[in-house]
Structure 1
């Protein structure tokens, strides 16, 4: 029998390949399709007829453990303590960039290969506690389809996307589509929070901090991303990654102390509020993230 999973060229980009299941596509063709305005609600109904919840809640009980591990010191511990052990070995405090050949996150995914009971308990920790980071929609699509068990995609609650303004249409195409083989809500149906690092705004020396911030928020490409992604995820945080002049960064780092000093002098020199904390715009939390000379998004 031929392998139903084949590589094919991405419909959104020629940068990389998307992992697509022909078998899943055939099943989708047999099901009646309807046009839906809200992709967030549509993905819930689409996955309702699949046994994702059953697959995600199967945890071996003490009575069901095979003899090979039932006497193991690890499995004599309470399950909460075992989960803490797994978390120590499988959780990184930093976002995990994918794909990348070498990463220094000190994770130990080899733990999942030791035995089936550990795999069934620890896999949930690996996918629920880490934050994958993607620089292209094809990367995120391939990640979801390359998982050994597609139900793991439902476990991932948070991801980070690195978006450049020139790639806006690539990303919004992935956000807006209802395609079964390639869309944000289909690839990662359990997603609850999304962080976007957006690189596009430039500092205008002729404008002050507030005027620069107001200009960036009116960026049509930024607005397009916000409107598209809000249909997919409940909570969105967007970082405007901007290279700022050193004098502006210095003022920001001085924080509240600098603000009080300026107030005594009667000067309004502190940057716009979004340089210091999150602001709310069109359903998204937005803040400026200053970039250094060697920083990238």
Structure 2
């Protein structure tokens, strides 16, 4: 039997992590939680958020239910309706920071402990419809290896990474390696979309908007991250999280830049919509409260 506390620390961790049991890990995510375009060619301003969550089409069938649930009102419902109920109880519209305790996100993980048939039919929904968020590669690594069922790691289609420029080498080491015990590709083999919140650029008051953006795009650490990660995931979205002047941050928050007035005030495309940068979708976003964590 596998020791549930064997993952006391990530194999090549650069910092100490407390032990995480298999059940603790499963609960933690519930509790907390090719044609290359020109670098500055804009993507449509109404670039829609992709639907990362297709769990309802991938949950295994449970047509042969055990006698213990034959009389259950829940299992008398059509299977599709049951799956919608599971999705409602096990899906959060917010990113789930891991490891962070005491953030329920209005999820109901206790549902999975009700009985084995519900667990087998609903557990997949949890991992396919939520977006784990990590601030260190060791967190992502230990999360993947400490799951109660390792196959769940293959079901996660989308994650968010919060990367500081000073930690670039920590992340690129995880992106570049193919080591079985520690790598993005091996830890999360089902990953299709990746969002990176990159904190590094600084607003230079002496420069205008375009000059600031051009300076950020030349950041060698940013380029290193992009070149490393784009070979691991099919789609990468990278947000440059910058502490912008208050007026500019408010304009972006109000969605300005979509029309002529916004274009006049914010002429540089990165401040208004996604652009294509070396294989990644990229744009500027005002630094948020969570980015200071």
More helix by share: 1
Residue equivalent to 1:127: 127
Summarize deviations over 1:201-230 as a string: whole Å, max 9, x none. Answer: 000111110110111011000000001101
Number of matched residues? Answer: 255
Residue equivalent to 1:100: 100
Residue equivalent to 1:284: 280
Deviation of 1:269 after TM superposition, in Å, equals 3.8
Question: TM-score normalised to the size of structure 1?
Answer: 0.79
Could you say what secondary structure the match of 1:133 adopts? strand
How many angstroms apart in 2 are the aligned matches of 1:294 and 1:233? 24
Could you say what secondary structure the match of 1:71 adopts? coil
Residue equivalent to 2:24: none
Q: 1:194 to 1:72 in 2, by over 3 A?
A: same
Residue equivalent to 1:60: 62
Deviation of 1:93 after TM superposition, in Å, equals 0.2
Q: Are the counterparts in 2 of residues 193 and 233 from structure 1 also a CA contact under 8 Å?
A: yes
Residue equivalent to 1:200: 200
How many angstroms apart in 1 are the aligned matches of 2:288 and 2:175? 30
Q: Are the counterparts in 2 of residues 59 and 120 from structure 1 also a CA contact under 8 Å?
A: no
Deviation of 1:292 after TM superposition, in Å, equals 5.5
How many angstroms apart in 2 are the aligned matches of 1:102 and 1:159? 20
Q: 1:2 to 1:84 in 2, by over 3 A?
A: closer
Q: Are the counterparts in 2 of residues 175 and 228 from structure 1 also a CA contact under 8 Å?
A: yes
The structure number with the bigger radius of gyration is 1
Residue equivalent to 1:151: 151
* Higher RCO (Cα < 8 Å, 6 or more apart): 2
Could you say what secondary structure the match of 1:7 adopts? coil
Deviation of 1:8 after TM superposition, in Å, equals 4.4
Q: 1:293 to 1:244 in 2, by over 3 A?
A: farther
Deviation of 1:6 after TM superposition, in Å, equals 4.8
Could you say what secondary structure the match of 2:292 adopts? coil
Residue equivalent to 1:255: 256
Residue equivalent to 2:15: 14
Summarize deviations over 1:92-150 as a string: whole Å, max 9, x none. Answer: 00000000111040111111111111111111110000000000001001111111100
Residue equivalent to 1:212: 212
Moved more, 66-75 or 156-165: 66-75
How many angstroms apart in 2 are the aligned matches of 1:254 and 1:81? 36
Question: TM-score normalised to the size of structure 2?
Answer: 0.80
How many angstroms apart in 1 are the aligned matches of 2:270 and 2:14? 33
Could you say what secondary structure the match of 2:260 adopts? helix
1:26-105 to 2 correspondences below 5 Å: 58-61=60-63, 64-105=64-105
Residue equivalent to 1:296: 292
Mind listing any 5+ residue stretches in structure 1 that lack a counterpart? Answer: 20-55
Aligned CA RMSD, in angstroms, stands at 2.5
Mind listing any 5+ residue stretches in structure 2 that lack a counterpart? Answer: 21-57
Deviation of 1:284 after TM superposition, in Å, equals 0.3
Q: 1:187 to 1:244 in 2, by over 3 A?
A: same
Q: Are the counterparts in 2 of residues 199 and 241 from structure 1 also a CA contact under 8 Å?
A: yes
Deviation of 1:57 after TM superposition, in Å, equals 6.4
Q: Are the counterparts in 2 of residues 10 and 17 from structure 1 also a CA contact under 8 Å?
A: no
